[in-house]
Structures are given as structure tokens and as C-alpha cells.
Structure 1
Amino acid sequence: MRAQGLPAEAAEGEPACLAADIIATATTATAPLFHAGWVPPGTHVLTMGSDATGKQELPPDLFPRARLFCDLPEQSRRIGEFQHAPSGAELIAIGEVLSGRVQGRRESDEITVFDSSGLSIQDLYMAEAVIDALN
């Protein structure tokens, strides 16, 4: 990444999480990648690797401390990261935020988590955009 002009450096998990405003994960993990205590107030966590039963990137004890957003709650609960969330956890569809029906981040020190397990309509939209760009 540095060779391409991006300021990047390798770091251990705990100091990297503690220093980050945004933590993004995109792995095939089946166990948490870091500890919930490493996520400071105000952090946004984006996870996109959990897209099948049994996959997991985040520590479940992070969820009670955070506001939980996802593409589609039913899908996230079934195959996404929130299959590991408590059964009563409120999962908010990101479309509700984008449409203005639900507020996103409410306080600057609120931890937010977005689980992107993906929707086929997103793939179709991106395919259309790529095709349009090529024409």
C-alpha cells in the first residue's frame, strides 16, 4: 500500500483498534478477530466477512455496547455477523437510516456496528454501474 502512496503500516490488534475511528473486517474468520474491550467509545465497526452460518469476525460482547445496523435484519441474524448477537438485540436495517425513518449515530461516543452480509440488488446495481461506465 505504501508503494502506491497510501500511508499504511502493520500493527498489532489491540493498539490498532484503540487508535482507530473505524474498524473494518473482511475475512473468512469463524472466531472473533479482537476483544470488545479494544473498541473505544465513538468507534464505527464495519464487518463484511460473515456471510454464512458459523462465520464470525466480531466479539459478541461488543453488541450490547453498540448500536447495530445491517443490510437486512433477517439475513444478518441467519447468516451474518448478528447470528452471534443476543436474541433480543435490536437490528436496524440501514435503509431505515438512509430514508430518514431512523436516526443513525445519536451521540459522538456511541459505538456503531454495520454488518454487510450483502444483498443481490446491491450486486446488480454495481454491475449496472460498471456496464454503464464501460459504454
Structure 2
Amino acid sequence: MTDGPKKVYRGAGRVAFLARLDDFRKLIDAGHPLRAIYDDYAEQLGIGYPQFTKYVGRYVREEKDDGHQRNGGEQIAQPSPSPASTGGPGGQTKATPASAQKPGAKRPGFEHNPNSGNRDDLI
């Protein structure tokens, strides 16, 4: 039989990266450039350089989670209230006529009547 290409399973690159995690930490702490580290281990890892840098950021550098850039849509802090919900003391909102209306309902105010005969109604 022929030795064809082996089937590569999803996540195999991450497993290969994590198996060498201590080596990568030592090299990065020693000041080696990421590109040089990747070039030395590329064949063993089976992943591209962009994925390698993502894994370095996630597993080696363990970037601080200060909430500035979030992946996955999670929120750390409570969302700030919208201008319509600023209300009384303690953050309690007061119901206003505008917020009590159903979405898409006509708001009270100007109504155009072209047959009124009064020019001031049109302005």
C-alpha cells in the first residue's frame, strides 16, 4: 500500500502546541522572536503562523483580561443606562409617556391635514 497523507483531526495543532508549551515559554522569556520559534517548530505543529501567534497570546502570555477587547460577547461591567432610563434615586427608572407607547405606534404631535385651508397648519 502507499503511504498517503495522514488524516489531520481538528485540534491536533493545539494539542501539539500545548505539548511544547513549556519550551515556548522559555524561548519567549529568553527574548527569541516568535517568527524564529515558529520556523523551528512549524513541521511539528502543523499550524500556520497566525494560529501560532493566537495560541501564544492565549496560553503563553495570558493577556490581562481588562475588558477592553472581548471575544464571545461577554460583558464584565453592567451596561450603562440608556438616556431614556435615567430616572430617580437609586437608578430606578420613571415611566414616561414616550416609553409606555408600543413600538411603531404613532406619536402625538404634528398631524398634517392638507385640506384644512389654514396655511399656518402647514408650517
Do Structure 1 and Structure 2 share a fold, with TM-score over 0.5? no
Q: 1 or 2, which has the higher helix percentage?
A: 2
TM-score range, shorter chain: under 0.3
Question: Which of 1 and 2 has greater Rg?
Answer: 2
Compute the TM-score of the two structures, normalised by the length of structure 2. 0.24
Q: 1 or 2, which has the higher strand percentage?
A: 1
Compute the TM-score of the two structures, normalised by the length of structure 1. 0.23
Higher relative contact order (CA 8 A, sep 6+): 1
